[in-house]
Structures are given as structure tokens and as C-alpha cells.
Structure 1
Amino acid sequence: MIFWKIAKNEKMFRRYLAALFLWEWTQWMLVTAIPLFLHQRYGLGKEFVFSIVIELLPGILLGPIIGSWIDRWGAKRVTTLDIAAYSILVTLLPLSSSLWQVQLILLGIGIAKTAGSPASLTLRARVIPKGLEIQGNAAIMGIERLCKIIGPLAASMAILVFGIGTMLLLCSFAGLAAFALFYMLPAAESQKQAENENGFTKAIFSALPAFFGLLSRDRMIAAFVVTAIGYSLLLGMLKIFLLSLAGLYGDPQQYWGLLLAAQGLGSLAGALVCDRVVNRLTRTYSLTWVYFLFGLGEAVLLTGLAFPLGLTWTLFVLVLAAVFEIVATIIYFSVIQTRIPYEQQGLFNSMTLPVLDTCYAAGIMLSGALLSTLPIFSVLLVCLGFMLVTHLPFARLFFRDRAAEASTGSE
């Protein structure tokens, strides 16, 4: 497999994958545990929804600043600071006794993630070997999705054996170990201090015009951003939908992790076959058209969840839909990394992620509101509609484009 060839020949990429594996595993355990922690204390009411959303608020409010932070201090440094802060704050959750304390801790975690997410994506662009964007992103996404399988399962088992409090403490220790691995990563930092000394405030206020200029110069990038918005809305609504669905099958603490693991299994399978599938399809179609088809394919497959045919059927649909999702995601990052210069990727990531976080939060709140008035499966159809609305207007653009395919070197 080409994955092993890249990992064998590229030392920095190999070390990055090792650090990423440990951190992603830790994060997916926390993705499983924190909603269960909130659900256990507050149920699925407004306290739960607002506590989930408050973690996303820093990303919405501070996003334009993060690009200048990445330029000023480097993607690796910002990523490691995020991991350290996240890992320390997690230990405080089980010690909290009031709702405001929980929300304050989640707000702090949100601030760390606001800086860490775009920095991590920017660092990824530096460690992936040139010309191997599809293969490199497939390897990274494969590890992320493998952790999406083992993380929720490990979290569910640890919660049953040790309890949520002890499990959160174990995640904190694992996170600090991941911090050490990222800190030792031999990734050279970009040097932009001289530019930033001319005016830190100026860099902040110049972010928006620079970002919109980037979108206006390349309609394909703008189209990718809009489709990502639709996917973020779907993801937010699907989170609450799956948690409610887990309650229909029995104990949410058991079935929530199982549903997430099914998505992870499908994503892992998709990452393993992505390179071969993309290479075969791009002999006939543009890379962007393959992205479009797989994005809509995921939405079509998820409609299968509207048929209450039992747990086995639900797991099958989630696995199959996740295969389509991961292929589309790998193409998304590969095209973005090749069409946008590395020097502008910190800006792009710091501007798009707050927008996507906003849509994700909107999806969570909308799903929570609709569940109180509509049947659970009607809510699913509403959220899938957002994928159609944000994808279909760009069908002709994606079909015609051949430049992205050539620039990614996917042949």
C-alpha cells in the first residue's frame, strides 16, 4: 500500500502520524464522553444543548484572529498549546459542581480548539509530501477514522468500568503524552514575525478582505466552502439525531458509542480505498465532480435511517454513508491544499472553521428544537435537505472543472 511507502520514506510524516494517532484517539474518547457527561447530569434539555454550543462560541467569535496567531507563532506551536490546554481543562470537568462551572470549562476548551483546529490543518499541509496530497490526506483521514472506531468503544467500556470521572482523567494523561509527541515533531516553523511586528491589529482587520479576495479569485474554492457549510449543518443535526436514536435502542451510554464507531468503521474503509477509487474515477471525471457525487451520495444513503428497520440496518447505513463522506472529505482537503498557497492556508483555515463551527452549532440547536415538535425521522430529512441546497447550485461548475484534477496530481 502506498500509505506504508509514504510513512517509510518520509520521517517527519511518519512521526506526525504517530502523534496524530494518540491525540485523535484521545479526542474521540472525549467526543463520546463529554456529551454523555452532560446527558447524565442535565438530560437532553436546553442545558445540554447550550453547553454543547458554548464550546463552539470561541471559534465563531475569535476566528479572524487565529490566522495571525498562526503566522506569528507557527502552526506547530499553536497546535501543541491547544493540546496542552485541552488536556488540562478536561480534568476539571468531573470536579465541577455547578452548571456555570461546566460551561466555563467548556468555553476554555472551545478557545483551545479554536486555535488548534486551523493550526493543525495548516501543519498538515506542511508535513504531507508534495504531489502526494490525495495519498497523504487518505493516510491522515484513515488514522482519524480508525480512532473514531476505537475511541468511542474504548470510552464506553472505560465509562462502564471506571466511571466518567476516571475516564476523563485518563484522557487528560493521554493528551499530555500527545502534546509531548507533537512538541518533538521536527517541523520547521514559518517565519513571519517581521511582518506581524508592523501591526498585529492591522493583520486582524486585513483578514476579512484577504479571505474574500481569495474566494473571489477562485470560484472553485468558494464552491467548496459553501458545500462544507451544508455538511457542517448536517453534522450538527446528525449529532443530536444519533444521540436521540441511541436512546430508542436502549442505554445511550452503550449505543451512542456504537453508532459513532460504525461511522468510524465506514470512514476507515473509505480512506483505505480512496486512492484507488479516485484514481479510477478521475480517468473519466474531474476530481471536483467525484467530490460532488460522493457528497450527495452520503446524503442519499443517510435517508435510509428514516426507515426504522432495527439496529443492524442503522449500523449498515452509517458504515456505508461514512465511506462516501470520507472520500469527499479527502478530496476537499487535497484540492484546498493544492489550490491555496501554504502562506495563505492559515488565513483560510482560521476564517472558514468559525463559519463551519457556526453552522455546526446551528445544526445542533435546530435539531434540538425540531425534536420537540417533529418525529425523530422527520428531523433527519430536514437536515439532509441542507446538503442538497448547498450542493446542487454548483453541479455544473464541479462537472466542468479539470484544473483541480491536474493540480492535485491524482493521476
Structure 2
Amino acid sequence: MTDDTQRATASDGGFARVLRSPGALRLVGSLFVLETGSAMTTVGLPLLVMQRYGLGLEVGFTLAARFLPNILLGALAGQVVDRHDPRRVATLAALGSGLAAALFPLTTAMWQIQLLALAIGVGYMFGFPAAMALRPRVIPEGSELEGNGLIVTAERVPKLLGPAVAGPIAAVAGVNWLFAAEAATALAAAALLTRLPQAAGTGAAESRGAGPDGAGTVAGAVGRRLSAWTRAMATGARDLVRMVRGDGRLSSLTITAFTYMAALGLGRTFLAAYSLRDFDHVPGMLGYLLAAMGLGGALGGMAAAAFRSWNQGWVYVLGNALEGVCWVALMATGDWYVALALLFVAGVFESVASVVYFAEVQKRLPTGLQGRYYATLVPLSDVFLVAGTVAGGVLVDRAGVTPGAVLVGLAMAVPVLVLAGRLVPERPAPAAKARPREAESTPA
């Protein structure tokens, strides 16, 4: 089904238009099953390492390996998504990640586990921007808020469902079966992606460059990729600035995405210390706190559409600021059920703000730049996430848990409040047809 057909047959707004789009449902379903499998591996991977090699730095290094491809090579993924059909890129990324997960039980050395973790990171590096680039193809025009709400929900629910399913599987069948489960979900996700419509002109774009000058040879291909990587690493951040400049809301959304990731890194360290200090009498409290946030996030993704009549800048500012208030408010209670309720509400606010973010980027950025935007954004965001996590370990250890909560809240609320003047005013999104020419001149 083409974009024109979807838009011609959609006569009303809201979720009904998205639910009548088979492509949108397949994309949402693919993300859901893929994220569910990934969440199970997130539980299984540290367990596998600890069972075989004990607890130590190896666990941290192994988990960090999944972030390295995005940090080092993420900009290259944008080049690939730009030049090839994002449906095919996302499908191959899902299959590659599933294959790597299935091989974990067969490893015999730590370096093999770390190499497979690195391979999963490579799959995510290509898969996420490709999936984001598919959204304009399958979400009907005018239903960006509802469509992105479903996508955020499809990403949030697995963070609650995956660990909940992983526990019984590991207890009954063993840790190895968690990796088999991700392999199965990756295969299902790839099958759903293959049913999505193919973009017009993709084949020509993919074959571009082959010719008598050696571009079709292996050496030529390797040379092109190395050259593309070098240019991408050198110009990634500059390209991101070019994509968002001239649009105050879009540039402010991008800036606060980075600061939020740093706050999230701080929050991860804080929650671990908080659960041990205040709830050492409640076994597994950290898991319950994270699950409460996951549940709130899942519901918040669906609730975002209720605010479609509001100024979306205000929804984004309030969502982030009130989430920060919830984190600080944790220090005012010693009751476990109040703490769970606060983090549930924080998850709702976070998810609502995320839906607005994704919807605004989709509306304000030309379709041809969607993949490159996220391919550049994600690796830079991972840098902020890692920096926040490392800083959190030092700050919480030296300053204490209570100042840690305040720092998390401030890191979430202050940036959006400072930039509220650019986030809140309602300005029309730049014409999508006026900006691709600028994108074409951007170094590839």
C-alpha cells in the first residue's frame, strides 16, 4: 500500500487511521517482538557471564560492548540508510542480531561473548535509524502523534514484559533459552518487516556507483565504506546541526534529548543506591522500581494522544519537568508503595514527552533526513548516557543518595525550562519540500 493510498482512504483522525494502516501495524509489531527479545537478553547476558566467569569488570565490559558500535560508527549507519531501502536494512539488522544472540550458549571464552555483544550493538546501530526512517512510509499523514504513541508503547512494554518473562524461563529451562527466545523474536520481527512497502527508486539508489571504475569490486566497496566512515565521523555532529538549524523547536528538542540521556545515566546509578539504602528489607526492590517505570512508560505512550489539542511544546516541557519533580520527591518518602507510585508517574511523564519528541521530529524534518538524523543522534546520545552513568557513580558515592536525586531532577527539568521560550511557541514546521535540497548538499 502506497502513501497516497493510505492517505486517500483515511477519512478520520486519531488511532483509527493508524490501525487501518497494515504497514504501521507491522512496524509496531516488529518493534514490539524485537524489543521483547532484546530485553530478555539484557537479563540473560550478565547472568551468563556471572555463571561462567564470576562477577567482575568483565560484566561491565561485556554490556558496554553493545554501546560501542553506536558511539564509534553510528554516523555511518545514516549513510547506509540514506542509500538503501531502510526496510531491507532493518530486516538484515534484526536477523543479524538474532543470529548473534543464538550463538551465545555456544561460546567457550569471554572474548567470544564480547564479540557477539558487539555484533548485537552493530545490529541496533543500523536497525533503529532504519525503523525510524520507515515511519513516514507507514504512518498516515495527520496521525503522527497516534502512530508515534503506538511506537513508543511498543518500545516501552517490552522493558516490563521482557524481564518478567525472562525470570521464569531462566528458572525453569535455563539461561541459554533466553538467547533462543531473542533469536525467535528477531526472526518474527524480520518477517513482519519484509511485508512493508518498498520505497520507490530504492533499487536505483542501491545500485548507484557500480561501474567500470572499480566501484563494483570488493576493493572498491571496501574503499568506499572506509571513505564514507571517515567522512561520517568527521561531519556527523555538523550534519546534525545543519538538519535542525533554522527551526528553534527542533534544535531545542535535540539539545534536551542529549541532556535527558545524561540525566537517565545519573538516574540508573541513583536508583541502585537508593534501593539499597532505603529498601534493603525488600528483596529485589530495584527490579520493582524499574518495572514501575516501565509500566508507566507503556501507559504514557498511549495517553499522549489525549493531549493533541494542547500546545505540544508545553506538553514536552511539562512532561520532562514533572518527571524531574517525581525523582526529587522520592526523598520525601520511606514507603515502598509511594516510591513505586512516583516512578510509575515518572514513567508516564517520560513516555508522553518522548511521543511528542518523536512526533515533532517526524513532522518538522523531511522524510529523506529521518534516518540520518537518528543515526547521528543515537551515538551521540549514548555518549551522554555513558557520561551520566559514570558521573553518577562518582557523585552519588561522594555526595550521597539525596543529592543524587536532586541532581537527576535538575538534569531533567532545568534544560527544558531554560529552552521553554523556543519549545513552546507554536510555529509552523518548515515546508518539507523546501529542505531536502539542503540535505542533498550535505556531505554523504
TM-score normalized by the length of structure 1: 0.86
- Distance between the aligned counterparts of 2:272 and 2:171, measured in 1? 18
Equivalent residues in 2 for 1:113-192 (5 A)? Answer: 113-188=124-199, 191=202, 192=205
2:308 aligned residue: 278
> Are positions 1:101 and 2:117 aligned together?
no
Structure with greater helix share of residues: 1
For the Cα contact (< 8 Å) 1:71–1:193, is it kept in 2? no
For the Cα contact (< 8 Å) 1:74–1:189, is it kept in 2? no
2:373 aligned residue: 348
Equivalent residue in structure 2 for 1:10, among 21, 35, 41: 21
Look at both structures and tell me which one has the larger radius of gyration over its CA atoms. 2
- Distance between the aligned counterparts of 1:43 and 1:205, measured in 2? 41
CA shift at 1:299, angstroms? Answer: 1.1
Q: Aligned in 2, Cα 1:168/1:215: closer, same or farther, shift over 3 Å? A: same
For the Cα contact (< 8 Å) 1:64–1:204, is it kept in 2? no
> Are positions 1:225 and 2:250 aligned together?
no
Post-superposition CA distance 1:321-358 (Å, at most 9, x none): 11111111001011101111001112211111111011
Q: What letter matches 2:339 in structure 1? A: T
Secondary structure, in 3 states, of the residue corresponding to 1:92? Answer: helix
- Distance between the aligned counterparts of 2:381 and 2:365, measured in 1? 18
CA shift at 1:245, angstroms? Answer: 4.8
CA shift at 1:247, angstroms? Answer: 5.4
- Distance between the aligned counterparts of 1:213 and 1:406, measured in 2? 16
For the Cα contact (< 8 Å) 1:42–1:48, is it kept in 2? no
How many residue pairs get aligned? The number is 402
For the Cα contact (< 8 Å) 1:36–1:253, is it kept in 2? no
- Distance between the aligned counterparts of 2:251 and 2:130, measured in 1? 21
> Are positions 1:66 and 2:91 aligned together?
no
Secondary structure, in 3 states, of the residue corresponding to 2:389? Answer: helix
1:334 aligned residue: 359
- Distance between the aligned counterparts of 1:43 and 1:219, measured in 2? 50
CA shift at 1:67, angstroms? Answer: 1.1
- Distance between the aligned counterparts of 2:122 and 2:167, measured in 1? 26
CA shift at 1:97, angstroms? Answer: 4.7
Q: Aligned in 2, Cα 1:74/1:239: closer, same or farther, shift over 3 Å? A: farther
Return 249-258 or 223-232, whichever deviates more: 249-258
2:348 aligned residue: 323
For the Cα contact (< 8 Å) 2:301–2:352, is it kept in 1? yes
Return 11-20 or 185-194, whichever deviates more: 185-194
- Distance between the aligned counterparts of 2:431 and 2:307, measured in 1? 16
> Are positions 1:393 and 2:404 aligned together?
no
- Distance between the aligned counterparts of 2:14 and 2:153, measured in 1? 10
Q: What letter matches 1:173 in structure 2? A: A
- Distance between the aligned counterparts of 2:273 and 2:201, measured in 1? 45
Q: Aligned in 2, Cα 1:401/1:155: closer, same or farther, shift over 3 Å? A: same
Calculate percent identity across the aligned residue pairs.
30
Return 336-345 or 369-378, whichever deviates more: 369-378
CA shift at 1:161, angstroms? Answer: 2.5
Q: What letter matches 1:334 in structure 2? A: A
Q: Aligned in 2, Cα 1:183/1:213: closer, same or farther, shift over 3 Å? A: same
Secondary structure, in 3 states, of the residue corresponding to 2:424? Answer: helix
> Are positions 1:215 and 2:241 aligned together?
no
Q: Aligned in 2, Cα 1:247/1:156: closer, same or farther, shift over 3 Å? A: farther
Q: Aligned in 2, Cα 1:91/1:369: closer, same or farther, shift over 3 Å? A: farther
Q: What letter matches 1:378 in structure 2? A: P
Q: Aligned in 2, Cα 1:97/1:308: closer, same or farther, shift over 3 Å? A: farther
2:326 aligned residue: 301
CA shift at 1:387, angstroms? Answer: 2.2
Post-superposition CA distance 1:90-114 (Å, at most 9, x none): 2333444544333222222111111
For the Cα contact (< 8 Å) 2:156–2:297, is it kept in 1? yes
CA shift at 1:313, angstroms? Answer: 2.0
Q: What letter matches 1:264 in structure 2? A: G
2:7 aligned residue: none
Q: What letter matches 1:144 in structure 2? A: E
Post-superposition CA distance 1:223-275 (Å, at most 9, x none): 11110001111222333443455556569995454333211211222222211
Q: Aligned in 2, Cα 1:266/1:404: closer, same or farther, shift over 3 Å? A: farther
What's the C-alpha RMSD, in Å, of the aligned pairs?
3.1
For the Cα contact (< 8 Å) 1:49–1:365, is it kept in 2? no
- Distance between the aligned counterparts of 1:375 and 1:48, measured in 2? 25
CA shift at 1:132, angstroms? Answer: 0.7
Query: Gaps (5+ residues) in structure 1?
Result: none
- Distance between the aligned counterparts of 1:299 and 1:190, measured in 2? 45
- Distance between the aligned counterparts of 2:429 and 2:133, measured in 1? 20
Q: What letter matches 2:255 in structure 1? A: V
TM-score normalized by the length of structure 2: 0.80
For the Cα contact (< 8 Å) 1:135–1:275, is it kept in 2? yes
- Distance between the aligned counterparts of 2:327 and 2:201, measured in 1? 42
Q: What letter matches 1:266 in structure 2? A: G
1:235 aligned residue: 264
Post-superposition CA distance 1:373-408 (Å, at most 9, x none): 44344333333332244323312112334335999x
For the Cα contact (< 8 Å) 2:33–2:185, is it kept in 1? yes
Secondary structure, in 3 states, of the residue corresponding to 2:245? Answer: helix
- Distance between the aligned counterparts of 2:329 and 2:22, measured in 1? 43
Q: What letter matches 1:125 in structure 2? A: P
